[in-house]
Amino acid sequence: MNSSVIVIYNPTARRASGKTIKAASAFFERQGYATEILCTGSRGEAEAFARRAVLKKPHLIIAAGGDGTINEVINGMAFSGVSLGILPLGTTNVLAREIYPKRDLITILHTLITSQSRPISLGRITCLSKGVFQTRYFCLMAGVGFDGQAVRDVNLKLKKRTGPGAYILSGLHTLLSYAPHELTISLDGQTVCGYAAIIGNISRYGGDFKITPDARIEETSLYVCIFQGKKRSDLLRYVGLMPFGRHIRARDVLYRRVEEIVICGAAPVQIDGDYLCETPATITVVRNAIRLVC
């Protein structure tokens, strides 16, 4: 490892700011770290930057953007041994909410320099995308069914302007046309059925909602909520229960700790807030996949 910091910066993130990046770069330079800023210009570029950055063996790679940017970076860094830090500049910044008690810039910058990195687990999903099987890692969650469709249909321009409001509007539109197919789901070999699922590697979802409240990023397991109701009224009931954490006790919600999930049927899938593919899909947990400063 050398005494350099590489910042992979998404300038289109909702809270992106050239002033913030300059301040971060100046801070690292004052601490004695040579700093390189890599600005992304298109989807997938953050992952490509990360793959090249790990070859330089820097002291730290920082993902400066939203949860989508972080997802790309972890897919470029997994099992490299290089430490990852995050500078949350996105719409909801779910990972930052999970790992940082305070999220002001100065506190985060000091954390990135003074705290040790620790190994964390990632979720790994294999599914069919555009006729080709692909495998991707996620650090937050995977959403299958209603959740995946709402993310797939979100208006990206509106997301830039309104942030979480774009997801809420997409969810309302999805609700009006929602016609789910039944899914057959294997949980560590036990078969159950449902119409939607959220698989969490952390406790939070979409901000501070704790959909999988027992999930911890350092543990070698995932938690899954399987929703077995298919009516619009069922969805509205789930949404009403979630802010209070009561959804996991609903009669038609299965909440389990798992290591492998196999989903068969037809449903859209999102990971870490971005649409990925359609089921069928296999999801597993991978221990010590990346080192995170937190």
Which tens digits make up the pLDDT trace of 34-92?
999 999 999 999 999 999 999 999 999 999 999 999 999 999 999 999 999 999 999 88
* 160 and 175 within one domain: yes
What is the predicted pLDDT for the residue at 14? 84
Q: pLDDT tens digit string along 101-129?
A: 888 999 999 999 999 999 999 999 999 87
Q: Which domain holds residue 100?
A: 4-115
Return the pLDDT at 19.
Answer: 93
Contact status, residue 214 vs residue 223, Cβ threshold 8 Å: yes
Q: Which domain-ending residue is among 115, 141, 161?
A: 115
Q: What is the CATH number of the domain that holds 38?
A: 3.40.50.10330
Residues 155 and 195 grouped into a single domain: yes
Do 31 and 145 belong to one domain? no
pTM assigned to the model? 0.92
Residue 289 clears pLDDT 80, i.e. is over it: yes
128 shares its domain with 250: yes
Q: Contact at 8 Å (CB) between 223 and 255?
A: yes
Q: Indicate whether 195 and 222 sit together in one domain.
A: yes
DSSP tally for the chain: helices H, then strands E? 9, 15
Task: Encode pLDDT of 166-213 as tens digits.
Answer: 666 666 667 667 788 999 999 999 999 999 999 999 999 988 889 999
- 76 and 141 belong to one structural domain: no
Q: Is-contact 221 256, C-beta < 8 A?
A: no
Whether 212 and 288 map to the same domain: the answer is yes
Give the chain's domain count: 2
Are the beta carbons of 38 and 12 closer than 8 angstroms?
A: no
